[in-house]
Structure 1
């Protein structure tokens, strides 16, 4: 006769199942974000895919620290991307970059 799994094993199964659900949701979100970034690349062809991603997050109101955490990069890397975005969009301020991005539909959702 087999014994039922211990409570520790049952908890492990629940945790594992939750992780799988989050992973699937993460993949779906990434796919949708990828479509959005392809669109951003078409709207701003001078920007790299990563710069378009940063611009979208800037347009959402994220500061550099939050963008760095979101993209799992150093804050200095984000500052470099923002500088390149400003140069390529011919803007001098973050507010101008946000206005340009929002005019093109970025930063929503």
Structure 2
């Protein structure tokens, strides 16, 4: 029988966005190869991202954007064709995940 790997939501979004020609998962599961990109994996096949500590691009934390500001900037862009919101420029051609927090549920950290 052939074993099949099921990608996480983030990996599935990336694969859908990039439409790679060559996709391989190393037999030991310690790397995922997507065309010329190699993604190192842990022994169990996971790639964990620490959303709340230093990490991300240039060893900085991941930026977050209030959804209200993005909607406001998007509406301004639709109405005028311009916006001074850096967030829209920074998010152009990016894969974006939208998460939520619920203070009433004692949600200590927002969903990335």
TM-score, normalized by length of structure 1?
A: 0.24
Higher-strand-fraction structure: 2
Where relative contact order (Cα < 8 A, 6+ residues apart) is larger, the structure is 1
Q: If you compute each CA radius of gyration, which structure gives the higher value, 1 or 2?
A: 1
